[in-house]
Amino acid sequence: MMRSLITCIILMTCTALSAIFVQAQNGAIVEVARFSASEPGASLPEGWKPLTFKKTPKLTTYELMKDDSHVVVKAMSDSSASGLIKEIRIDPKEFPIVRWRWKVENLLQKSDVTRKDGDDYPARLYITFEYDPGKVSFGKKLKFKAGQVLFGDIPIGAINYIWETKAPVGAIIDNAYTDFVKMVVVESGPHKLGAWVDESRNIYEDYKKAFGEEPPLINGVAIMSDTDNTKEQAVAYYGDIIFVKPSDARVNILAR
């Protein structure tokens, strides 16, 4: 499923290459998802598209609903996989801090970040990067070209922030399908189940640590709850997603 995921994300984000950089009016914040400003019951949040896979007929369902007085996205996955994606261009050096809120009701018993048959998570935030030859090492360029021959369109790099079952928080692990995608364990285990959790990561530093080089521009952000490999069920909720400058890292404008 990861190969289909990579291809679908790239096909959907390639049209964003000509888009302008999206910034808030004060130039300090990039609002990727303001779900809290949406109407409950709407089919999709504004600016977001379905992310589906040809070989996965059963789709995760997403709906805008009220929770704790704020509108959020509820995901329900039952042996299914699909996501929501937004095309956007962000300079991770200028806006390195990504912040979001999520809540997970249950873990997946068969989830295993190191195995293809365990590559399922109740919640994940997926960030992709566009191919910029000027910011890629020679060795990685060769590997990228070889990957294109075998798999077609793939991202030069992607970060998956995941809620895992047993891997340690802070671990950065190669995806079970490709090392062009790195899995970053943000939450692990049952301790915070059923509660809203505020997350903050430095995507610029995470990329450098994961790939050993400067990151290119971000060209897509996706949310996804998937259980097609493990054949389990999961329920998760996603709140607002923003990127901020380092000087504004302490500012909290996420709907609570």
108 with 225: CB under 8 angstroms? no
Cα separation, 62 vs 33, in Å, equals: 14
**Residue 254 within any structural domain of the chain:** no
Task: Give the confidence band of 10 by pLDDT, cuts at 50, 70, 90.
Answer: very low
Average per-residue pLDDT in the chain? Answer: 84
**Residue 180 within any structural domain of the chain:** yes
**Residue 253 within any structural domain of the chain:** no
Confidence check: pLDDT of 171 > 90? yes
Q: In this predicted model, what pLDDT tens digit does every residue of 128-166 receive, in sequence order?
A: 998 666 666 666 655 555 454 444 455 557 999 999 999
Confidence check: pLDDT of 59 > 60? yes
Which DSSP string corresponds to 193-210? Answer: TTS-EEEEEEHHHHHHHH
Cα separation, 185 vs 205, in Å, equals: 15
CATH number of the domain within which 20 lies: 2.60.120.260
Confidence check: pLDDT of 252 > 60? yes
Backbone angles phi, psi at 118, to 5 degrees: -115, 10
**Residue 70 within any structural domain of the chain:** yes
The domain of 69 spans: 2-248
**Residue 223 within any structural domain of the chain:** yes
pLDDT of residue 130: 86
Number of domain units in the chain: 1
**Residue 66 within any structural domain of the chain:** yes
Task: Please give the structure tokens belonging to residue 197.
Answer: 């959790």
**Residue 98 within any structural domain of the chain:** yes
**Residue 238 within any structural domain of the chain:** yes
Using the Cα atoms of residue 21, residue 6, residue 114 and residue 108 in order, give the sign of their dihedral. positive
Task: Give the confidence band of 247 by pLDDT, cuts at 50, 70, 90.
Answer: confident
219 with 129: CB under 8 angstroms? yes
Q: In this predicted model, what pLDDT tens digit does every residue of 119-135 receive, in sequence order?
A: 999 999 999 998 666 66
CA distances from residue 8 to 88, 192, 243 in whole angstroms, order as listed: 15, 31, 23
Amino acid at 201: R
Confidence check: pLDDT of 57 > 90? no
